[in-house]
Amino acid sequence: MQVVVLSDTHVKSRAPEISEWVRAAIADADHAIHAGDFDSRPAYETVADLAADLTAVRGNTDGNYGLSEVATADLGGVRFVVTHGTGPDAGYEERVAGIVAENAAADRPTVGVSGHTHRLLDTRVDGYRLLNPGSATGAWPAGETTFLAVDVEAGDLDVEVRRA
- Into how many domains does the chain fold? 1
pLDDT level of residue 157 (50, 70, 90 thresholds): very high
pLDDT level of residue 66 (50, 70, 90 thresholds): very high
- Tell me, what's the pLDDT at 69? 98
Cα angle, residue 71 at apex, residues 5 and 115 outer, rounded to 5°: 45
Domain that holds residue 94: 2-163
Q: Look up the CATH number of the domain holding residue 65.
A: 3.60.21.10
Q: What is the mean pLDDT of residues 43-70?
A: 97
pLDDT level of residue 21 (50, 70, 90 thresholds): very high
CA–CA gap between residue 112 and residue 163 (Å, rounded): 21
Looking at per-residue pLDDT, the higher value among 70 and 164 belongs to 70
Tens digits of residue pLDDT in 83-142:
999 999 999 999 999 999 999 999 999 999 999 999 999 999 999 999 999 999 999 999
pLDDT level of residue 6 (50, 70, 90 thresholds): very high
Tell me the pLDDT of the chain averaged across its residues. Answer: 97
- Tell me, what's the pLDDT at 34? 98
| Cβ atoms of residues 47 and 24 within 8 Å | no
Q: What is the mean pLDDT of residues 18-42?
A: 98
Q: In 10-155, which ranges are E strands?
A: 31-34, 54-56, 70-75, 78-83, 110-113, 120-125, 128-133, 146-153
Tens digits of residue pLDDT in 31-47:
999 999 999 999 999 99
- Tell me, what's the pLDDT at 44? 98
